[in-house]
Amino acid sequence: MVLWQSDLRISWRAQWSSLLMHGVVAALVLL
């Protein structure tokens, strides 16, 4: 249970950081 929660938290942070990175790249391309 604890391992599953930590894994879910890590995957959530990974998805958020990936989304943020894509947003930065898109902004640079548009500018």
Per-residue pLDDT of the chain (31 residues; tens, 9 = 90+): 566 677 777 788 889 999 999 999 999 999 8
Write down the pLDDT at residue 30: 92
Rg of the chain (C-alpha set): 14
Write down the pLDDT at residue 11: 83
CA 26 from centre of chain: 15
Which distant-in-sequence residues (6+ apart) come within 8 Å of 2 by Cβ?
A: none
Write down the pLDDT at residue 4: 66
Q: Terminal CA-to-CA distance of the chain, rounded, Å?
A: 45
Write down the pLDDT at residue 21: 95
